[in-house]
Amino acid sequence: VSKILVAGSYNEDMTVVSQVLPRSGETVLGASFFAAPGGKGANQAIGAARLGADTTFLVKLGLDPFGDRAQRLFIDEGLPAHGILRTAAAPTGVALIMVDVDGANQISVAPGANGLLMGTDALDGLLRDVSVLLCQLECPPELFESLAHRLPSATKILNPAPARPLRDECFGAIDFLTPNESELASLTGLAVTSDAEVRAASSVLIGKGVGNVIATLGANGALWTNGSQERHFPAPAVVAVDSTGAGDAFNAGLAAALALKWSVADAIELAVRCGAFCVTRTGALDGLPRLDDLQLPVRAR
């Protein structure tokens, strides 16, 4: 049995769609609003499960209606109940999201219960048969460090979103790091605006002990480097309506394919297709594909 453990966040996503995103201090008139399940951890866990991977999700929710709704969703999506924890100490996480007509977004998260999820919350039974660990940074980085330590033989993926400082010892535990360009810049302190700068920043992280860096580049696909090889994976051209969750769909695809023992190159190709699918749908959850969905509507950009 090969199992994925996704340990991470759930947020209730509150999304306003508007013509343009507001600048600092500005108010713009939005067009529509919707509330939907989200959170990078939840999106990645549901995404991996939808792709057919045996997935367990370790998450902490508040004792509130958002948490109730999330718990029902996880069960409906086939995620096992024993990873779903509830706490009276904090509310369920909330994300305020703004999306413009081109699909670009801005997100601010109040982590709530996500901030209380620790490695010690994972009972030994939850870790049995785990071959792939997938974490993000909406929960404390200690969560990844502790689970990575307890899963020495698992493939460990860290999606460093949102970017936050990592201890030097953390880098050596990461088999696959999946930053976008701004996360790559934050993690290295380097400017990352060109392909050459993506390469340079990725090399710095490899130098710190990361096994593979897969930089996600939006419509430009992804760049994989591991110190000895480098390869660019272009993204299919699609009509983007909302980029929310695209990184999560990518990470879900990567984890699912690695758990299914695909080669790294095939896994990244699937991940890129998952990310491209996601931007063609509104909201994170509807953008998480099943394998059948991946016949993408490809149109010239």
User: Applying CB under 6 A, which of residues 247, 275, 287, 289 lies at the interface with ligand RIB?
Assistant: 247
User: Applying CB under 6 A, which of residues 3, 5, 6, 39 lies at the interface with ligand RIB?
Assistant: 39
Decide if residue 183 touches ligand RIB (CB under 6 A).
no
Mask 194-233, x = binds ligand RIB (CB under 6 A)?
A: ----------------------------------------
Query: How many residues form the binding site for ligand RIB (CB under 6 A)?
Result: 15
Question: Is 248 one of the catalytic residues?
Answer: yes
Decide if residue 138 touches ligand RIB (CB under 6 A).
yes
Decide if residue 92 touches ligand RIB (CB under 6 A).
no
138: how many CB neighbours lie within 10 A of its CB? 25
User: Applying CB under 6 A, which of residues 6, 17, 40, 47 lies at the interface with ligand RIB?
Assistant: 40
Concatenating the DSSP letter of every residue in 237-291 gives P---S--TTHHHHHHHHHHHHHHTT--HHHHHHHHHHHHHHHTTSSSSGGG---G
Rounded to a whole number of angstroms, the minimum distance from the CB of residue 139 to ligand RIB is: 11
Rounded to a whole number of angstroms, the minimum distance from the CB of residue 119 to ligand RIB is: 20
Rounded to a whole number of angstroms, the minimum distance from the CB of residue 111 to ligand RIB is: 9
User: Applying CB under 6 A, which of residues 7, 45, 79, 109 lies at the interface with ligand RIB?
Assistant: 109
Which residues does the annotation mark as catalytic?
Answer: 248
Q: Which residues bind ligand RIB (CB under 6 A)?
A: 11, 13, 38-40, 43, 95, 107, 109, 138, 244-245, 247-248, 284
